[in-house]
Amino acid sequence: MKNHTFVAFGASGKNDEISFEEPGISLTQALARTGGLLDNRADPSGVFVFRMERRSALAGDVVGSSESQLVPVIYRIDLRDPGNYFLARSFKMHDQDIMYVANAPIADLQKFLNVVFSVAYPVVNSINAFK
């Protein structure tokens, strides 16, 4: 039995290359292996899987002029919709997939405020110390 891997990035509990066994694991299992979505950082509507798919597996026209048999495909799932958990349970991860969990919009503001406060707090303390 060959081991497969996927890579997890973003606002999941673990950013790493994760091994799994054949025949594969579901997206919900993949999320569980990464520690799930970080409550204070993740956007549950922004869970993405990046995959190279066989052109023949796709319906309709494929964007791009490449004649390659493999084309890049991005799958997105919105976990704010409870019904999509059933979809995530049936979505199988493939070898070499990339799973990305987007940051919540407020996470960028929080990072900015942390920088501002980390600079401002020592200055305010110094001013108060010399009063």
Res 49: pLDDT: 96
Residues of the chain with pLDDT under 50: none
Res 60: pLDDT: 66
Enter the pTM of the model: 0.75
Res 88: pLDDT: 95
Res 92: pLDDT: 95
Res 81: pLDDT: 96
> What whole-number distance in Å separates Cα of residue 89 and Cα of residue 105?
26
Q: What residues form DSSP beta bridges with 100?
A: 9, 48
| Domain 3-105 class, CATH top level | alpha beta
The per-residue b/e assignment along 12-38, b for 16 or more CB within 10 angstroms, e otherwise, is bbeeeebebeeebbebbbbbebbeebb
Q: Any idea where the domains of the chain sit in the sequence?
A: 3-105
Res 69: pLDDT: 83
Res 100: pLDDT: 95
Q: Which residues fall within 8 angstroms of residue 49, CB to CB, at 6 or more apart?
A: 27, 74, 75, 77, 91, 93, 97, 98, 99, 100
Res 75: pLDDT: 94
